[in-house]
Amino acid sequence: MISDLRSKIERLISLYEREKQRGDELASQLEASRAEIADKKQQITELKSQIDHYKLAGAFTSSEDVQASKERLNKLIRDIDKCIKLLAN
């Protein structure tokens, strides 16, 4: 009877340790998935920004050559950055 109880307790401890290890593995996988999601969200944001940039650049290339449009766009971006810095102060 005592040996039967002891074997059941040992089995219960074994099951607990196995489930604890499984929980730790799942927590690790969850953290990795969260990090991957955050990375993908950042990548999506960057790609959307690039799309907007290309759309804007395309609007300036209708009658001008591409290099002149890029220079004009870069100047506009610098001007906007200057304005933002002035507003921040």
Domain tally for the chain? 1
- pLDDT in the model for residue 62: 59
Containing structural domain, residue 37: 2-88
Query: Which position has the token pair 């927590």?
Result: 27
- pLDDT in the model for residue 6: 92
**Tens digits of residue pLDDT in 20-64:** 999 999 999 999 999 999 999 999 999 999 998 888 776 666 555
- pLDDT in the model for residue 2: 86
Token output for 39: 């990375």
Q: What pTM, to 2 d.p., does this model score?
A: 0.53
HEC string of the chain equals CHHHHHHHHHHHHHHHHHHHHHHHHHHHHHHHHHHHHHHHHHHHHHHHHHHHHHHHHHHHCCCCCHHHHHHHHHHHHHHHHHHHHHHHC
